Amino acid sequence: MDGVHVALASGESLVVLGPNGAGKTTLLRMLATLLRPDEGSLALLGHDCPEHADRARGAIGYLGHDPLVYLDLTAWQNLELFADLYGLDDPRTRIVDGLDAVGLLPRAYDPARTFSRGMVQRLGLARMLLHDPDLLLLDEPYAGLDARGRALLDEVLAAERAGRATVMVTHDVERGVAAADRALVLRAGRPVLSEPVTDVDPAAFRARYEDLVR
Amino acid sequence: MSPRSLRQFRALLVKDLRLELRTRDTAIAMLLFSVISMVIFQFAVGTRTEETTPFAGGILWATIALTAVLGVSRVYVPEREQRVLDGLLIAPVPRMVLMTSKAVAIVLYLLAVEIIAVPLVGIFFVEGSFAQDLPLILLTCLLANTGIGILGSLFASMALFSRAREVVLPVLFLPSLLPVVIAAAGATHSVFGVSNDMAEYRGFSLFLAVYAVIFGLVAYATYPFVFDD
Amino acid sequence: MTDSRSGRLLVVTGTATAALTALAVFGVFFVAPEDADQGIIQKIFYFHVAIAIASLVAFAVACISGVLYLRTRRERHDEVSSISIGIGLLFSGLVLVTGTIWAKASWGTWWVWGDPRLVTFLIVILLYAAYFVLRSRAEGERQRRYSAIYAIAAFASVPLSFYSVRIAQSFVHPVVFTQSGANMPDSMLVWFVVSQIAAFGLYLTMLQLELVQRRTEKRLRTLKTRVERLVAESPGA
């Protein structure tokens, strides 16, 4: 990764595009405080990282390829664990609401291992949203989701925009651009484009993108 | 520990115990392994001597050291196999709390094994009654487990990301564990069966406590860096 | 240029060490009095103990560099730490070899479990050999960080290993140093001190040599990639 400057205001959403190996996931993992940058600075939600990473972590929601839930725990036990880790008040209400939102309340006491892939990913979605994060980090979020989960995620991204910033890494250029305010295109760890895409036609952008990364 | 950290710590530990109670993979494997190890010691050493009582402490702690390697190598299995580690690392959990919860999990697994292994060693290898020695040996177990847990959590976390993890861990873990084996075997030997040398027992117990304190300090200094990528 | 400066420093330490080593060998064999009880074999003591202490110092340096690495993340500290452990391991091996020779001459057996210092060095070798196992299994920044953590933990193990072996066994090593200090005539002590300084010098020389070599290799690599890029960019290629 080299020379990437990203500044994201609250309420803004950014889509990160690029071919395989361009460093999209690396960038997202840095934002998620899972990797520390070798050089340069990183401030998340007003907290300098990695020094004050713990303070930023409480306000970040991350969903990647793995749903990050324990398959041998029940849906309820999973969310209970994360409610405790994030120090949430009134965890019962939050868990019930969270499970209800992703349609897993009837299966609350079943181990996640008995769920379908799409249901597990929806549980991951509930885990990400449980602490009502200010910054959502999404790595190919649509990949593992079933139709219901995709609709849910679209709803989350569209409805709860107020005050919440989003960074999404995706291969799906049109979908990503349609949902985002800004686009960042990476190639071999370097930014080749960074501009607003609010009024851009996704199909036209796609054509430009393919020229850029060829 | 702040109330918030305490809540995180409890949640992590409860999670590990729940997963273990559900699958019982680790505890049963450790227990069987410890019994097999005793049988091996019987045929390696026991059949060559008239009286095995002097070897009982040594056999017990050699067994527990090897069993501990097994337990420590399994302590991150849920996170690894179900790919949840990132989920714990992105949460606002101080690394110290995460590592301490794993250390306590190791201590509890070992204790579960020892509750059965210690009387079994007594029955197999000690002549005469040994029931009166069990409280003192339990204290030795607790002191030794603390050291093993602190060190085990550190090395298990480092082995997590290395290639050929199952080879790395014993090579890494056992040399540092040697002082615990020596002192715990000494303490056990000094009170097990007919021998009753309280001065020796106190000396070895003090050493075990010092070991736990020193590695507690090492852990305090190094735990925060293990997951600091 | 820092390179030529560290090169010059290496020449100075190297020369001084060579001179000191020659002086130590001369002094130990031709000037120092022969031990009344043990005879000529006691000469091995000068080297045995000197490299034993030098190896412990190398491990201490590795531990301190490990702490510094964790605080600063500077690659330099990791280099000093890993090179020091390599040298310390080599010295520990020599301690075991000279120790077994001494044991054979004094007690007629190559190995004595009753000697806590010799046994401790066997454990130390196992401890620090594991360092390189760990190091070879990780990459990049993680490799340096784990190495630093292990260098710290292993150094804490050294005294613990020694005391555990010691309280578990009777003390039968011929006592040259007693608890209160040096228990030998001044004519011997002088040459022991010279041997000790020579052993430290040997450690420093090897450390610098390895550091200079690694830096040179790194520069060679960057030069190579630059040449390759130039060749690739030149139109005639």
Is this complex scored with an ipTM above 0.95? Answer: no
* Closest chain B C-alpha to A64 CA, distance in angstroms: 10
Report pLDDT digits (tens) over A12-22.
888 888 888 88
Give dist(CA A149, CA A141) in Å, integer.
10
Shared domain check, A205 and A160: yes
pLDDT > 70: percent of chain B: 100
Give dist(CA A31, CA A12) in Å, integer.
15
Of C126, C148, C164, the CB nearest to B207: C164
**Positions in chain C whose pLDDT score sits under 70:** 1-3, 169-183, 236-237
Report pLDDT digits (tens) over C102-153.
888 888 888 888 788 889 999 999 999 999 999 998 888 899 999 999 999 9
- pLDDT class of B119 with cuts at 50, 70, 90: very high
Please tell me if residue B154 touches chain C, with a CB cutoff of 8 Å.
Answer: yes
Give dist(CA C198, CA C200) in Å, integer.
5
Shared domain check, A139 and A126: no
Shared domain check, A147 and A122: no
Q: Give helix C186-233 / helix C44-72 axis angle, nearest 10°.
A: 40
**Residue A149 domain-assigned (yes or no):** yes
Touching partners of B (3+ C-beta pairs < 8 Å):
A, C
- Final residue before a domain boundary, out of A132, A155, A186: A132
Helix (H) or strand (E) holding A191: strand A190-196
Shared domain check, A29 and A46: yes
Question: Chain B residues with CB inside 8 Å of C150's CB?
Answer: 158, 172
Q: What is the pLDDT of residue A199?
A: 79
Report pLDDT digits (tens) over B68-91.
999 999 999 999 988 999 999 999
Q: Is A196 helix (H, G, I), strand (E, B) or coil?
A: strand
Touching partners of A (3+ C-beta pairs < 8 Å):
B
Number of domains chain A is built from: 2
* Closest chain C C-alpha to B18 CA, distance in angstroms: 30
Of B183, B186, B215, the CB nearest to C156: B215
Copy the structure tokens of residue B177: 């564990």
Please tell me if residue B55 touches chain C, with a CB cutoff of 8 Å.
Answer: no
CATH code at position A23: 3.40.50.300
Please tell me if residue C152 touches chain B, with a CB cutoff of 8 Å.
Answer: yes
The architecture (CATH level 2) of C41-173 comes to: Up-down Bundle (1.20)
Shared domain check, A185 and A207: yes
Shared domain check, A159 and A213: yes
Residue-by-residue DSSP string for A19-59: STTSSHHHHHHHHTTSS--SSS-EEETTEEETTTHHHHHTT
* Residue pair C168/C130 in contact by the 8 Å Cβ criterion: no
Report pLDDT digits (tens) over A125-169.
999 999 988 889 999 888 878 888 888 888 887 765 567 888 999
Give dist(CA B64, CA B31) in Å, integer.
10
Structural domain boundaries enclosing A46: 1-59+134-214
Shared domain check, A172 and A121: no
* Residue pair B93/B8 in contact by the 8 Å Cβ criterion: yes
Shared domain check, A83 and A34: no
Q: Which of B181, B174, B151 is nearest to C133 (CA)?
A: B174
DSSP character at residue C115? -
Q: What is the pLDDT of residue C236?
A: 61
* Closest chain B C-alpha to C79 CA, distance in angstroms: 18
CATH code at position A74: 1.20.1580.10
Question: Chain C residues with CB inside 8 Å of B158's CB?
Answer: 134, 138, 146, 149-150
**Residue A64 domain-assigned (yes or no):** no
Shared domain check, A123 and A197: no
Q: What is the pLDDT of residue B143?
A: 97
Residue type, C22: A
Please tell me if residue C133 touches chain B, with a CB cutoff of 8 Å.
Answer: yes
Q: What is the pLDDT of residue C168?
A: 79
For residue C119, what are the contacts with CB-CB under 8 A and spacing of at least 6? C113, C165, C169
Q: What are the residue boundaries of the structural domains of chain C, listed by start?
A: 41-173
Report pLDDT digits (tens) over A39-58.
777 777 777 777 778 788 88
Which of A95-104, A204-213, B142-151, C139-148 shows the lowest mean pLDDT across its residues?
Answer: A204-213
